[in-house]
Amino acid sequence: MKNETRTKQARLALVREEAALCARLLALLPSVARDGAPLFLNSANSLESIARYSHKDADALFASASQCVELRQSLSLEGEGEVAGSFLAACWEAASGDPHRRGPRKLAEWLLSKFAP
């Protein structure tokens, strides 16, 4: 009985966190696609010298996406979740040393094409 309750609580926490992450991203991504703000750089996965230029919400969004992935894993749910996994992929690409990586505008456009209504 306790396991069922914990599982239900974890599922509810996941649904809430994913919904909040999606809403926050959908509010920010259009301006990032237009202006190129460094939303995908953060102190968790970017070089310190670069991370200091990150968007003010970047760290919180990265933490939220990471929490969604952790909750999914704890519930043995397949995949990383479309919103969280895609956002984390964009962050990792932005922080990579690949000279052909997409910039913030292209990453924002890509994310919007994946989950904008």
**Confidence (pLDDT) at 82:** 85
Domain count, the chain: 1
**Confidence (pLDDT) at 116:** 66
Task: Concatenate the DSSP letters of all residues of 8-64 into one string.
Answer: HHHHHHHHHHHHHHHHHHHHHHHHHHHH---TT--TTTS-HHHHTTS-TTHHHHHHH
Containing structural domain, residue 88: 2-115
Per-residue pLDDT of the chain (117 residues; tens, 9 = 90+): 678 888 899 899 999 999 999 999 999 999 999 999 889 988 887 666 565 667 788 899 999 999 999 999 988 887 656 899 999 999 999 988 899 999 999 999 999 998 866
